[in-house]
Amino acid sequence: MIELAEQVGLQNVYTPLPFKIHLLFSVFATIVLIIQLFRKKRICYLLATLAIDSTLITHFAFDSRRVIFALEIVELVLVAGCIVDIIIAYLKKRKQTRDERNQESLLESRQKERERKEIVSDADVLEKAFDSDLNDLDDSEN
């Protein structure tokens, strides 16, 4: 395992990846998350980008426990922000879905009421069609 670590170039205990691979991963993740930020316009993508990119600090300050501790706190705050944003988006989506269902049921009930009135009015037309007081043809014969 030690030989593998030397070949791969492990630099510190906080990031087991070499700097070049870590940087490549961070750049790729940043591009994907920024695209998602512009597509979905949600803050959690920006927070996730900041959390991923901030891990690069470990390559330069892995000797300082204070910096690493501060980085851990910052990352926890960013991840917590992501979770809060996801929960808020979920609740908004659920409320929107509930409102749409209520709107659809209201429209359906209105449509059924209109159809019921049309059926009643059709029945009235048929009943009145043979009523001699309302029939103009009967008046013309007299």
Q: For the chain, what is the domain count?
A: 1
**pLDDT (tens digit, 0 to 9) for every residue of the chain, 142 residues total?**
344 444 445 456 666 778 888 889 999 999 999 999 999 999 999 999 999 888 888 777 767 788 888 888 999 999 999 999 999 999 999 999 998 998 988 888 888 888 777 766 666 666 666 665 555 555 555 4
Any domain includes 138:
no
Report angle CA 89, 91, 96 to the nearest 5 degrees: 95
pLDDT for 46 equals: 93
Any domain includes 136:
no
Any domain includes 141:
no
Any domain includes 137:
no
Contact 52/44 with Cβ under 8 angstroms?
A: no
Dist CA 25 CA 78 (whole Å): 19
Considering the entire predicted model, what is its pTM? 0.61
Domain range for 96 is 2-128
